[in-house]
Amino acid sequence: MDEWSGRKWEPVTEERLLRAIDVLVDIAKEHGSAFDPVLETVRQELHDFRRRHSASGQAEHETDILLRKAG
């Protein structure tokens, strides 16, 4: 955790949420279902982010496809 202490905080973006999901999926595959609640939280954040920032229903459809791939 010490390596995070000097990092600059940046706004949450769709790209960052997708990277977080990818990392959490890898961790869950390696260590079992203990990380599933964290993964679900990040998935929900991505869903909420896209819902707030989407101009059309197509973005939500694409979210569902990505989340199925990630899980």
**Higher-confidence residue: 13 or 58?**
13
The whole model's pTM is what?
A: 0.52
What are the helix (H) ranges across the chain?
Answer: 14-31, 36-53, 57-70
**Higher-confidence residue: 38 or 7?**
38
Q: How confident is the model at residue 16 (pLDDT cuts 50, 70, 90)?
A: confident
Q: Measure the CA–CA gap between 17 and 39, rounded to whole angstroms.
A: 11
Q: Is the pLDDT of residue 6 over 80?
A: no
Non-local CB neighbours of 45 within 8 Å, separated by 6+ positions = 12, 17
Mean pLDDT of the chain: 75
Structure tokens at 47: 């869903």
Q: Dump pLDDT digits (tens) for 38-64.
A: 888 888 888 888 888 775 555 556 666
Task: Determine the distance from the C-alpha atom of residue 25 to the mean position of all C-alpha atoms in its chain, rounded to a whole number.
Answer: 10
